[in-house]
Structure 1
Amino acid sequence: MRIHLTSVFVEDQTAALAFYTGVLGFVKKHDVPLGGGARWLTVVSPEQPDGTELLLEPSGHRAVPPYKAALREDGIPAASFAVDDVAAEYERLCGLGVVFTQEPLAMGPVTTAVFADTCGNLIQLVHTP
């Protein structure tokens, strides 16, 4: 069994696509109109084009706003992305204007950092040797 798809809720799929591709460096995999302005919109890592897809899912369901707000208020990331060097990625993303809520932090063998994705989510960067 493998993870095929996971998602983050976004208010504006077009803006989310611009951030996740233009800033984070993911590539668009699927963009299928669903009606009512919603799309089945996924991105993948360019390093694993056939790997796990991230669905930029519309935030239309009534449960989403309080869910996202509770996660943000408690500082809980909605997703975690693996990187080879958290400090280098932190510097790169800061240079692109990304706002971090947690600078790189080593916790034993794991280093993490957390940023706001401009779509209402906190995202964690993680490196485990």
Structure 2
Amino acid sequence: MKIILAIFCGLIVLFAGGCALLLVSGSGYNGMFQSLPVAAIPGGIAALNVLVLLALFSARTPQVWAFHVLAVIDVLVILVLAAMWLSFGLKDSEINVLGSVLLGGLAIKAVLTVLTARRIT
């Protein structure tokens, strides 16, 4: 359970951290301060996942609030992705496969995050 959650958190750190870096560096010097609030969202998600990874491998004292906030964010992302998936329609098989994999992975991550937070406390 711990290893699977660590894999999911590592993937999210790579993706969200990369998105935040692209938002900051890709905007150029003039637009950098305009994209900082937008880049703070994936940067904050990456930071929460890093806190969870540090707590999983006992590199830092567990911050239980980080687990709960991350689980709530995962559920919110699941709801947004489900709404997007339903708006695209269920007729396209490629979108159905992508949607089911993303929603399933995030649901497993949210459940594992809550279970690990309960185990730590």
The TM-score range, normalised by the shorter chain, is 0.3 to 0.5
Give the number of the structure whose residues are more often strand, by fraction.
Answer: 1
Give the number of the structure whose residues are more often helix, by fraction.
Answer: 2
Q: Which has the higher contact order (CA 8 A, sep 6+)?
A: 2
Q: TM-score, normalised by structure 2?
A: 0.32
Q: TM-score, normalised by structure 1?
A: 0.31
Q: Which has the larger radius of gyration?
A: 2
